């Protein structure tokens, strides 16, 4: 995704490319920027359980949120808890709260975040769907 902002160095037009992706079963994010007027430029990429909020919000604003829901009722709570804890490094209490949300309203986030969680749940034989949160 490309975002145009003002360069802090010269006031010119700064072009930023922002994205999230999955590599090796991990969530990665990247941002790259370059000014059309001056030599100001950078490239940054990292991995971790959480993408910087500015990048997440830009992706959500551009593409909208995705919602992850169980494909069928009655998914194994133990399997869901394990997948959530493994993927996000959550405590049992945090995983329970997220599992409750998944089973009731569904989880929302960027498409890449929900696809990563869907893959983790799939490895635990929990069938889920990922759809637009606007649906």
Give yes or no for a contact between 50 and 89, defined as CB atoms under 8 angstroms apart: no
Supply the pLDDT for residue 72: 86
Supply the pLDDT for residue 117: 93
> What would you report as the CA-atom Rg of the chain, rounded to the nearest whole angstrom?
18
Per-residue pLDDT of the chain (135 residues; tens, 9 = 90+): 998 999 999 999 999 999 999 998 889 999 999 999 999 999 999 997 778 998 999 999 999 999 999 998 888 889 999 999 988 888 999 999 999 999 999 999 999 999 999 999 999 999 999 999 886
Supply the pLDDT for residue 87: 84
Domain 66-132: which CATH number of 3.30.559.10, 3.30.1390.10, 3.30.930.10, 3.40.50.300:
3.30.1390.10
Closest CA to 66 of 20, 100, 11, 26: 20
Give yes or no for a contact between 68 and 102, defined as CB atoms under 8 angstroms apart: yes
Task: Record the tokens describing residue 113, joined without a space.
Answer: 């975040």
CA distances in angstroms from 119 to 60, 97, 122, 125, listed in the order given: 20, 20, 5, 10
Residue 123 burial (CB count, 10 A): 14
Ordered by start, the domain boundaries in the chain are 2-63, 66-132
Closest CA to 47 of 8, 66, 19, 73: 19
Supply the pLDDT for residue 135: 66
Supply the pLDDT for residue 134: 82
């Amino acid at each position: 995704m490309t975002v145009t902002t003002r360069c802090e160095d010269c006031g010119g037009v700064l072009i930023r490319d922002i994205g999230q992706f999955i590599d090796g079963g991990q969530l990665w994010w990247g941002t790259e920027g370059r000014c059309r007027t001056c030599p100001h430029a950078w490239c940054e990429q990292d991995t971790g359980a959480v993408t910087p909020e500015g990048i997440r919000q830009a992706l959500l604003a551009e593409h909208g949120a995705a919602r992850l829901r169980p494909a069928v009722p009655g998914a194994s709570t133990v399997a869901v808890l394990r997948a959530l804890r493994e993927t996000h490094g959550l405590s049992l209490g945090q995983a329970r709260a997220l599992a409750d949300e998944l089973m009731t309203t569904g989880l929302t986030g960027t498409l890449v975040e929900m696809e990563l969680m869907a893959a983790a749940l799939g490895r635990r034989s929990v069938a889920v769907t990922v759809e637009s949160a606007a649906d």
